[in-house]
Structure 1
Amino acid sequence: MKQILVPTDFSENAWNALQYGLDLFHNTKCTFYLLHVNPVTGYSGTGSTIQKTSLTLKENLLNTSMGELRTWMDRIEKLPVNTKHMFFPLIHFNYFIDTVKSEVQHKKIDLIIMGTKGATGLKKATIGSNTGDVITRVRCPLLAVPEDVEYTRPKEIVFPTDYQLGYDLKVLDSLIEMINMNKAVLRILHISKKGEELSQEQRENKDFLQEYLLDVDHSFHSLTGSKLETAVQCFTESRDVDMISMVAKNLNFFQKILFRPAVEEISYHTKVPFLVLHE
């Protein structure tokens, strides 16, 4: 049974991410935890009147959230029945990242699914600050689902890498699971500067990938370009890639793609789900 956490702000964007997850794991037994976190404000008063007001506010927020979650559960009941899926609502009044970390640990979460927003930068709006924080601060695989994207079976998954770091077997096994579940093809993509050759360490890491992925339908690709994000965009669009996957361990490489400030430089992944893997 796969344990999946779906944080929600009750937006249609969050609902779209949930539906994508339901379709992606249509044939897999899953427990979906629908999590809404009412954020704690930075101010805390000491007077009894202020404390009473604060408690009343908290109670009102939790009641409102419970009503919203009931609406979500009603919408889920109207979907085509899938006996492989179970749903549990979770409501908290706490700090968002602390709550996600706690639920990941206590529920033994295998995957977090969140929606992306808009078309600026991941840290700003494309994925939302909450999702950006989860990617960098919570050690759990995360699937970022673009706004308004309709589910299609991932037939090609691109895996950008610089071969600088070795990969944990657990990470590769998670990637292989996604590939096998969808009968997909893995495209391993290396972007280099003109005339740049692989070092001995990079060649060894590439050879390791080749050996470990022996039973997986895959291919290696190399592009020359000065801008990493532009090269990934070109490759993604030219091959009609259905999903991008990366390892969060390689954070510097990772940030070059995700945390770009300009709209035109990162617009490609507003259309393609992004699977972030953690060790």
Structure 2
Amino acid sequence: MKNILVAVDFSESSRKAMDYAAALAKSFNANIVLLHAFYIPVPVGDVPGYIPLSFAEVQEENEALLQREIEYMAGKYEVRTDGYVRNGFATAVINDVAAEVNPSLVVMGMKGAGKSSGIFGSTVISAIRKVKLPLLVIPADAEFSFIKHISFAADFKENLGVERLGILEEIAGHFNADVQVLHVQKNEAFMAAGEAAGKVGADVAFSRMKHSFHTMVDEDVERGITDFISTNATDLLVMVAHHHNLFERLFGKEHTRLIAYTTRVPLLVLHDA
């Protein structure tokens, strides 16, 4: 792990994500790249009382705020920290800068300063879907600790290739962590043929990590996952984002119980290779 890209909006949640990323970077001797995206809307027609914002002034103000965060990171954690301020929609900006700095990981806070933040809060799910890099979402109540136990919520109906697990293998190996591969099935005595084949494939995919398989029987997949992580030590929850799969079913809903759990447990989202 060489570079970690952290999306920031200068909120408390953003600072929490920075703290977690810095501790992780220090452990890996990696570099931090901070990124702030802002968007200045163009008004349509004449708006009474509207005073156009100067792009240069907004850029300068944000650069000053970002410099403060860079100095905070360098001073508190002694990690090499660079930063970018870019105008544009958050996910597009993240993808553009990621193409420039080639990060191993993108880190975001679960919630931001408000609707105008453009990166956090209500748009975090959009970023999870659109940023096709390993994405680590840090909850407000999370504190970095030695990662000993990783829970991987598996969907055995999907092909789990070794190539998409690279960052997970790196983290698990670095911390000598146990990876708990969890599958939730609806019937205790029955696993569909496709799921059985998927489990065999998963065993191969996780062969270079310390791993164990766990099964929860529950008609509600979400409840099965939350019950598991509430009774089994979990320092990091990992899921793979497929279109219309387990991830979409869980995070496509509002106010899910699983999202409530992410107020404590960092969530690492992986994507198709």
TM-score interval (norm. to shorter): 0.7 to 0.9
Alignment partner of 1:36: what SS?
strand
Residues 6, 106 of structure 2: 8 Å contact kept = yes
Alpha-carbon offset, residue 17 of structure 1: 0.7
Partner of 1:124: none
One-letter code of the match for 1:259? G
2:70 to 54, 70, 73: 73
| Distance in 2 (alpha carbons) for counterparts of 1:152 and 1:99 | 30
Query: Aligned ranges for residues 214-229 of structure 1 at < 5 Å?
Result: 214-229=207-222
Letter of the structure 1 residue corresponding to residue 141 of structure 2? D
1:17 aligned partner: 17
Name the structure 2 match of 1:240.
233
Q: Is the 8 A contact 1:228 1:256 kept in 2?
A: no
**Equivalents in 2 of 1:32, 1:44: separation in Å?**
39
2:27 aligned with 1:27: yes
- Give the AA of the match of 2:70: M
Query: Aligned partners of 1:263 and 1:257: how far apart in 2?
Result: 7
SS of residue paired to 1:79? helix
1:116 matches 2:110: yes
User: Equivalents in 1 of 2:61, 2:231: separation in Å?
Assistant: 46
Query: So what's the TM-score if we normalise by structure 2?
Result: 0.87
User: What are the ranges of 5 or more consecutive residues in structure 2 without an aligned counterpart?
Assistant: 113-119
How far did 1:195 drift?
4.7
Task: Return the offset for 1:199.
Answer: 2.6
- Give RMSD over aligned pairs: 2.3
Secondary structure of 2:14 counterpart? helix
Which residue in the other structure is 1:186 paired with?
179
- What per-residue deviation string (whole Å, max 9, x for no partner) do you get for residues 193-248 of structure 1? 13562233322221122133233211101111122221111110101211110111
After superposition, residues 57-72 of structure 1 pair within 5 angstroms as: 57-72=54-69
Q: Which amino acid aligns with 2:227?
A: C
Alignment: residue pair count: 262
Aligned residue in 2 for 1:38: 38
Quick one: distance in 1 between partners of 2:238 and 2:188? Answer: 26
Give per-residue Cα distances to partners, 1:46-85, cap 9 Å, x unaligned.
9xxx9xx74x52122111101111211222232143xxx3
Q: TM-score, normalised by structure 1?
A: 0.86
Q: Contact 2:162/2:206 (CA < 8 Å) preserved in 1?
A: no
Is 1:137 matched with 2:130? yes
Amino acid corresponding to residue 237 of structure 2 in structure 1: I
Q: CA deviation at 1:250?
A: 5.4
1:230 is aligned to 223
Contact 2:4/2:106 (8 A) holds in 1: yes
**Aligned-partner SS, 1:144:** strand
CA change 1:106–1:80 in 2 (3 A) is closer
- Decide which moves more: 213-222 or 254-263: 254-263
Other structure's SS at 1:197 match = coil
Is it true that 1:204 corresponds to 2:197 in the alignment? yes
- Specify the SS of the correspondent of 1:260: coil
Change (3 A) 1:234 1:173: same
Q: Is contact 2:136-2:268 (8 Å) kept? A: yes
Letter in 2 for 1:37: A
Verify the 8 A CA contact 2:16 2:109 in the aligned structure 1: yes
CA distance in structure 2 between the aligned counterparts of 1:207 and 1:263, rounded to whole angstroms: 30
d(CA) in 1 for partners of 2:216 and 2:88? 45
- Matches of 1:92 and 1:263 in 2, distance apart? 32
Farther off after superposition, 138-147 or 256-265: 256-265
Give yes or no for the alignment of 1:101 onto 2:95: yes
Report the Cα distance in structure 2 between the residues aligned to 1:27 and 1:62, rounded to whole angstroms: 33
Contact 1:103 1:109 in 2 (8 A): no
